[in-house]
Amino acid sequence: MASEQQTVADDESRFLISDLCTMLESYLEQEQIQEVYRAYLFGAEAHEGQHRLSGEPYIYHPIEAARILGELGMDHKSIIAAILHDVIEDTGIAKDQIEAEFGNEVAELVDGVSKLTQIEFASQAEAQAENFRKMILAMVRDIRVILVKLADRLHNMRTLDVIRPDKRRRIARETLEIYAPIANRLGINSLRVELEDLGFSALYPLRYKVLEKAVREARGHRKEVLKKIETSIKRRMRQEKLAGRILSREKHLYSLYRKIRDKTLSFDDIYDVYAFRIVVDRVDTCYRALGVMHNLYKPVPGKFKDYIAIPKANGYQSLHTILFGPYGVPIEVQIRTEEMDKVAESGVAAHWLYKSGDASMDQMHAGAREWLRELLEMQKHAGNPVEFLENVKIDLFPDAVYVFTPAGEIMKLPHGATLVDFAYAVHTDVGNTCIAAKVDRQLVPLRTRLLNGQTVEIVTAEGAHPSPAWLSFVVSAKARSNIRHYQKNLKQEDAVGLGRRMLDRALGAFDADADSISRKQLSALLKEYSLRSFDDLLVEVGMGRRPAVLVARYLVPADQTGIEAGQGEAVMRPLVIKGTEGLVTHFAKCCRPIPGDPVIGIITKGRGMVIHTETCRNLSEHKHPPENCLDVQWEPGVDEEFPVEISAVVADRRGMLATVAATIGDCDANIENVGIEERDGLTNTLMFTITVHNRKHLAEVMRRVRSIPSVIRIMRLRN
């Protein structure tokens, strides 16, 4: 009986490899297909007697992984590596045996995919991180390593139902956090979509079923509208004598789920969007088709993206626009060439499938290699594999922002990138020595997040060093790894010397020096900071844990700082801004910051530290040296009231002032001042200075006032 089952299994595996070889005949040479079949015989013998948890012979899995690569059109050595990818890890076959049979190239690919099975790790996370680090190093030598691994992971995800739930969830989370983003970063859309949906269904099975049912039910109601829009597009394209394929698209489930989750929208808001793809022959036809679409339906302002002129980091190219369609429904349209469509689906795999010498493909492949080189640099700076893996996860976020250098060069940065991220993207030395930055010629804080189209200039200074505080706002893995690398390599004596220079410079701003510091003041400060010696204090300053200007303010007698000690409540106010111990703080009346606002501190003679919002227009007027501008944060759990100004445009009706004032009072906000401005005889503007606890409290006040029927508009006043 056992022999009969084995015979059936052998016949089935021969059918699978025969089916694979038939598929490979469409693009591989006969000799190469024979090599693939020989690899199957080698792998089948190595895995003899081994079975998967599903009960099927183990060799089924490598064949299916090879089929996935065959569908991408990968070269025969990648197919062979996929068939043999588990023999080192799960059988007695060594790397040199594979090299002897199939050559060094295949052996290196198989070894790059194999896990580190001979080393004991302290935790699952450490093992995962170290295995990933090893694979990245192999990827740098040959990018096909990750393609084999993605094929392996995809087939594992397709057969995930047989393993226990806790392990299934762990593998699904790893797929969504690492492998699907890598497929996206390499531009392999076909793999990314399936990995994401399979990971979603395994990690959140109930949410997947609910969303799948909602899509299935809503799909029927859309057919008529989709058909009408598609007919209109085809008719207009024919009128303009433009040839092309028009395809309706549907967002895959994980993409829908992520939008619903991240943007807190309902399913109807997300799914009520009609998406089409127009595929044409040439690039200039893409732009002509765009003009046709904008004439057929009105475009939504600010929703056009040109990824042809500025491709995504993974090489993706297309024109994206959103239109006002019939019945008021939005229409998403992608316009691209046939070549771009192939690259969008296959990504770097197109390098092997379409050997046309196309410059865009070569550029995309070069871009992938550049990314791998950046990963290698991060790996060198990372303290351990776990930290490296976290940096890679940060780097895999697909969204990007495009800004310009002063010379007009376009720089790609991850979504949410700050000026420090930009500085490190230019060059590591620029990031390490940056002290200030200008956006569109205006001086702004280093923590400022960048927007598309801005021109950025970094100001550097010899002897400047990265601040550990930057880690709280940088988003790129390169910036994070370099800052941490500097911190780890800053020796004690270097920190003391740097701290002394920084403190001397800060004391100079108060017309003081180290010799003028009294022993009593120094002892009090060391006690306050729980430090043993002056050198320990200098280390704290040099490492960036204590701002030099605040330490200097504490050490200098009040009559020397020019700051009046008796400035009422400012001195007595409990600490609400982190790191301002011993320093008088004021809140700027021009922008009236409240807890929750991103803020920056300006050190001034005579007033101590003045807190502004980061978007305050008056910041550009301050000519303070960069060292007097400090990135500050609110203390958590601040329980105070802060004044803020709001303006409400209301209909000119009797009792409106009393109604709005009563509503504000009901929200536990105190009114300090009221002003009324008549506008056109039909409306009035009511201006209030109120006190609130934080931005959430202010938002609640504004929401309640906005709900009053006669209130037309309400806004927060700044500057």
The residue whose two tokens read 């001979």 is: 118
Instruction: Answer for the pair 450, 413: CB distance below 8 angstroms, yes or no.
Output: yes
Instruction: Answer for the pair 307, 317: CB distance below 8 angstroms, yes or no.
Output: yes
Specify the DSSP class assigned to residue 418: B
The residue whose two tokens read 């040099």 is: 542
What's the CA gap between 271 and 278, in Å, rounded?
A: 20
User: Sheet holding 442-444: strands in order across?
Assistant: 442-444, 434-439, 456-460
DSSP 5-46: HHHHHHHHHHHHHHHHHHHHTTTS-HHHHHHHHHHHHHHHHH
The residue whose two tokens read 């004598």 is: 241
Catalytic member of 56, 71, 90, 504: 90
Instruction: Answer for the pair 110, 85: CB distance below 8 angstroms, yes or no.
Output: yes
Environment class of 167 (CB within 10 Å of its CB; exposed 0-12, middle 13-18, buried 19+): exposed
Q: Which two tokens stand for residue 225?
A: 């509208």
- The residues, any chain, with a CB within 8 Å of residue 192's CB and separated by 6 or more, are 180, 183, 184
Q: Which two tokens stand for residue 637?
A: 């759990």
- The residues, any chain, with a CB within 8 Å of residue 169's CB and separated by 6 or more, are 202, 203
Environment class of 421 (CB within 10 Å of its CB; exposed 0-12, middle 13-18, buried 19+): buried
Strand stretches in 379-506, DSSP E? 400-404, 410-414, 434-439, 442-444, 456-460
- The residues, any chain, with a CB within 8 Å of residue 648's CB and separated by 6 or more, are 660, 685, 686, 687, 688, 705, 711, 713, 714
Instruction: Answer for the pair 248, 192: CB distance below 8 angstroms, yes or no.
Output: no
CA distances from 227 to 63, 224, 246, 328 (A): 40, 5, 11, 16
Q: Give which of 295, 279, 290, 285 is closest to 242, Cα–Cα.
A: 285
Environment class of 359 (CB within 10 Å of its CB; exposed 0-12, middle 13-18, buried 19+): exposed
DSSP 266-280: -HHHHHS-EEEEEEE
CA distances from 304 to 193, 293, 318, 320, 343 (A): 24, 12, 11, 6, 21
Q: Give which of 590, 583, 596 is closest to 635, Cα–Cα.
A: 596
Specify the DSSP class assigned to residue 179: I
- The residues, any chain, with a CB within 8 Å of residue 309's CB and separated by 6 or more, are none
Q: Across-strand partners of 589?
A: none
User: Does the active-site annotation cover 89?
Assistant: yes
What's the CA gap between 486 and 348, in Å, rounded?
A: 34
Catalytic member of 29, 31, 71, 89: 89
What's the CA gap between 111 and 298, in Å, rounded?
A: 55
User: Does the active-site annotation cover 511?
Assistant: no
Instruction: Answer for the pair 74, 349: CB distance below 8 angstroms, yes or no.
Output: yes
What's the CA gap between 66 and 242, in Å, rounded?
A: 40
Q: Which two tokens stand for residue 48?
A: 């003899």
So which residues are the catalytic ones? Answer: 89-90
